[in-house]
Amino acid sequence: MPPSPTTTSRTLLGRLDESEFTARHLRIYVTVLLGHFLCGFVINLTGVILPGVIKTFHLTSESAGVFSSALFAGMLVGAAIAGTVSDRFGRRVPLAITLMVYALFSLAAVFAPTFGALVTFRALQGVGLGAEIAVVLPYIAEFVPSRHRGPLVTAATAAWLIGLPTAAAVGTAVVPAFGWRAMFVIATVPVLVGVFMLATLPESVRYLLRRGRLEDAAAIVGSLCRGYGTPGATTQHEAPESPGTVRTLVARHYLRYTIAIWFMEVCAGAFLYGLSSWLPSVLEGQGVSLLKSFGYTAIITAAGVVGALLAGQLINRIGRRAVLGWAFVLSGVFCLVWGTTSATGAVILLGCLATFFGSGLAGSTLFAYASELYPTASRATGLGWAAAWQKVGGLIMPVLVGFILAMHATQFLFFLVFGIISILAGLAAFTATFETRGRTVEQITQEITGRAAEPTPTMARS
């Protein structure tokens, strides 16, 4: 009797989950990692080019704020819609297109004749940037062996975070010599990476199986996983599965976890973008010179990269819930202590600890968790909406902090706000997350929905 399509699909997924990390895995991962790094780089151009933009267009502080917010508004839209598009049309093509979109609008920004045109191009660029985040992490989660899933997703987040100091370093060399528009010229490079993705990346095996394309999935597994040849041809297919919608995210089985993810993402976005936007000004208010405040901010934000790199190992050892909960809480505690001191050494140390746990450990783990919680039919939709809520935090917090500082409140109130939101996010993690460690993405879905788990070739570790 020939194997059933379900049995064949389970065999292919078992091969994919239990495979060694091969040279082709590495080539695919490096390609998407480069695209994600460039995403972080382009997002973080704002602080580098803003002084030049203000001078060129004679902007007021309010107009400069509009320029900063336009990017996040576009990212919110892109993140919200891209996941659903990817769940319907696959991962490979939408991912490549997102890079091309924000690269092409970078080119448009080079020639922007007016401030209004520049804001429009930056917002449209944000659509592509937000969309890239929504697609790339589900793609990584679906093609890498299960035991490598957590570390590789969090390492991708670290690559994104490296975009902040890289943008600052490149801007320091480029802007004084060539002007702020030269940074947008550099930001067109992702179009080449997008073309390369279209030419070389395979489609997600899980997406192909969901669409009933068994032979295509088998061919990719055979070429990707060492020691596994392509199975013999078969005419049997799984019945195509309808793509997921936002309704899946708020269905009875997922509602509790979805609310917790969205709340934690708002808090994480508020912490990441609020801190990076206002920290130099706050440090200057504490008596630190403006030039030194930029240097201190670079050191403090770089600690988040270290946290993201370590997160992958921790979540495989102690689990997603523990890392999320304790990292958020500890970040909040360090923020509270941070606000009580103005000594240079203490400011740097406490700032590094707060961002190491907050944007590093907690932020990267949160995206890893969101990229594996939902079923394949809704995975990119789930990650996209999570990323959209992060941008909501990024829109709200800078405005809130600006209002607080305009009231001439004490500097401690600034740090108190960040401390409170981090601790609240930690409580949400402890009380309303589903532990995904040690499970394949199919087993996660089966356990959450209450269906009996089907046998798999071996128990995967993740």
Segment 48-64 mean pLDDT: 81
Q: How far apart are CA 341 and CA 387, in angstroms?
A: 33
Q: How far apart are CA 206 and CA 442, in angstroms?
A: 10
pLDDT at 301: 78
Q: How far apart are CA 350 and CA 426, in angstroms?
A: 19
Q: How far apart are CA 430 and CA 417, in angstroms?
A: 20
pLDDT at 51: 79
Q: How far apart are CA 340 and CA 214, in angstroms?
A: 60
pLDDT at 31: 96
The residue type at 321? R
Q: How far apart are CA 437 and CA 140, in angstroms?
A: 16
Quote the tokens at residue 452.
């009996």
6 has a pLDDT exceeding 90: no
291 has a pLDDT exceeding 60: no
Q: How far apart are CA 302 and CA 359, in angstroms?
A: 10
Segment 228-232 mean pLDDT: 43
Q: How far apart are CA 125 and CA 123, in angstroms?
A: 5
Helix (H) or strand (E) holding 144: none
461 has a pLDDT exceeding 50: no
Instruction: Phi first, then psi: give them for residue 253, nearest 5 degrees.
Output: -70, -30
pLDDT band at 239 (very low <50, low <70, confident <90, very high): very low
pLDDT at 103: 95
pLDDT at 256: 93
384 has a pLDDT exceeding 90: no
pLDDT at 232: 39
b/e code 217-253 from CB counts within 10 Å (16+ = b): bbbbbeebbeebeebeeeeeebeeeebbebebbeeee
Per-residue pLDDT of 335-363, as tens digits, reads 999 888 877 788 889 989 999 999 899 99
* Residue appearing with tokens 């790199």: 309
187 has a pLDDT exceeding 50: yes
Per-residue pLDDT of 105-138, as tens digits, reads 999 999 999 999 999 999 999 999 999 988 998 8
pLDDT at 110: 95
Quote the tokens at residue 312.
């992958």
Residue 177: alpha-carbon gap to chain centroid: 32
Better pLDDT: 302 or 156:
156
pLDDT band at 80 (very low <50, low <70, confident <90, very high): confident
457 has a pLDDT exceeding 60: no
Handedness of CA 347, 44, 266, 432 (dihedral sign): negative
Per-residue pLDDT of 366-381, as tens digits, reads 988 988 888 888 888 8
Better pLDDT: 275 or 197:
197
238 has a pLDDT exceeding 70: no
pLDDT at 34: 95
pLDDT band at 13 (very low <50, low <70, confident <90, very high): confident
Segment 242-251 mean pLDDT: 75
Better pLDDT: 436 or 376:
436
Quote the tokens at residue 105.
């609008």
403 has a pLDDT exceeding 60: yes
Please tell me whether the overall predicted TM-score, pTM, comes out greater than 0.75 for this model: yes
262 has a pLDDT exceeding 70: yes
Q: How far apart are CA 159 and CA 38, in angstroms?
A: 9
Which 3-state string (H, E, C) describes 45-82?
CHHHHHHHHHHHHCCCHHHHHHHHHHHHHHHHHHHHHH
pLDDT band at 430 (very low <50, low <70, confident <90, very high): very high
